[in-house]
Amino acid sequence: MQSWNLLEIDTPQGSRSPVVLHSGEARAVLIGLAAGQALREHEVKEQAFVTVVEGRVRVEVGGEVTDAEVGTLFVFDPEERHSVATEEGARILIVLAPWPGEGHYRGGQREPEAS
């Protein structure tokens, strides 16, 4: 078993320092968003499960906007374009499955120690 305290993991550069928690059949990534930061409209090759861990976010998909707080879960289909933004700062957990999706770019990663 592995476990992480998602509120204690350092993400010092906000969206520029995502932390890969686990990578296997699925990939779990923690992203801290500083006040005013956003993951601009994008898509991924996998199904994406996005959970608000801390703060509040605004999610936009195809012109539909949802304001969400801690505990909200979003599920995006592969290649479904979406954006995530925060005015006050937030922390989100993203799970991508199956990993990697067909055609996914395989770049570098930063992995924290599990407890």
Q: Does residue 26 form part of some domain?
A: yes
43 token code pair = 């898509």
Confirm if 20 and 109 have CB atoms less than 8 A apart.
Answer: yes
First to last CA, the chain: 9
pLDDT at 17: 87
Predicted confidence at residue 86, as pLDDT, reads 97
Q: What confidence score (pLDDT) does residue 101 get?
A: 80
Average pLDDT, the chain: 91
CA quadruple 7, 9, 11, 17: dihedral positive or negative? negative
Task: Tell me if 12 sits within 8 A of 61, measured CB to CB.
Answer: no
Is 104 inside a domain boundary?
no
What's the pLDDT at 37? 95
Task: Report the alpha-carbon distance of residue 25 to residue 9 in Å, rounded.
Answer: 23
What CATH number corresponds to the domain at position 48? 2.60.120.10
User: How many domains is the chain built from?
Assistant: 1
pLDDT at 12: 85
User: How confident is the model over 51-98, as pLDDT tens digits?
Assistant: 999 999 999 999 999 999 999 999 999 999 999 999 999 999 999 999
Structural domain that includes position 79:
19-97
Residue 36 inside a domain? The answer is: yes
